[in-house]
Amino acid sequence: MAFLFDWSKMETEEYTHDVTQGSVVQLGERNYIMLSGTGDEHSETFMTQAKAMLALGQYLTEAPQHHIEINDFRNYVHYPLNVSWVGNIGEPHRDYQMLMKHPNFMPATAVEQAIGQLAQSDPVVGQIKYGRFEEGLEAQIGHVGLTDAATVQQLKAFVAESPFAIDNTEGAHRELYLNDISTLPNTQWQTILRQRVTPVDQRAAEQFPIAMN
């Protein structure tokens, strides 16, 4: 059987779904597909765009089947949907940018070719863009269902007891959906809530366990 890279098995620290204990991740520069919109998780626009992102993510895992040539292509499971919500943690959701990480071997040309092909049957895919950037230092905690006030407070309490402080300079927080939100009721969504943080005690921060990826 051909090798299959599965983020849920090989990048467990970055995508931990621990709902009781928070953690800190340092996320370096990587490839993304991106799509911006307005609406909360209940809106038709949000779900339509989520389906388009998930469809393109799956399509790119099958790139050779669609005659898209990629050097050093390896079989992989597409990464989860990652939504950067505009507004500080705990604020109501409205404006967002959907993100989906892609392997380092995935070039912009391949993404653009896939978008062109898939947009013929799904015009929303045609709005998706490619980008490469660094997410940075973030605290995170897992949750089942839509993120609620208790989850926000749980993450804030974890940060308050760590050598870090919440960093609101980005003006956004992130929520990752580890399973398929287009087919499951939101009570079953496996969510990770993430918030950018900054060290307040540099020496203690250097000793703090941080997942690097």
Q: pLDDT tens-digit profile of 114-137? A: 999 999 999 999 999 999 999 999
**For residue 152, which phi and psi values (nearest 5 degrees)?**
-60, -45
Mean pLDDT of 89-106: 94
78 close to 100: Cβ distance less than 8 angstroms: yes
Mean pLDDT of 26-46: 97
Provide the whole-model pTM: 0.95
207 close to 107: Cβ distance less than 8 angstroms: no
CB neighbours of residue 33 within 10 Å: 25
| Confidence band of 3 (pLDDT split at 50, 70, 90) | confident
Q: Report in angstroms the alpha-carbon separations of 66 from 58, 61, 82.
A: 12, 10, 25
Where do the structural domains in the chain lie, given as residue ranges?
Answer: 7-212
Q: Report in angstroms the alpha-carbon separations of 93 from 34, 65, 151, 191, 192.
A: 18, 38, 15, 15, 15
- Please state, in angstroms and rounded to a whole number, the distance separating the CA atoms of residues 180 and 78: 11
* End-to-end C-alpha distance for the chain, whole angstroms: 27
7-212 CATH fold: Multidrug-efflux Transporter 1 Regulator Bmrr; Chain A (3.20.80)
Name the 3-class secondary structure at 113.
helix
**For residue 172, which phi and psi values (nearest 5 degrees)?**
-160, 165
Burial 36-56 (b: 16+ CB within 10 A, else e): ebebebeeeebeebbbbbbbb
| Confidence band of 2 (pLDDT split at 50, 70, 90) | confident
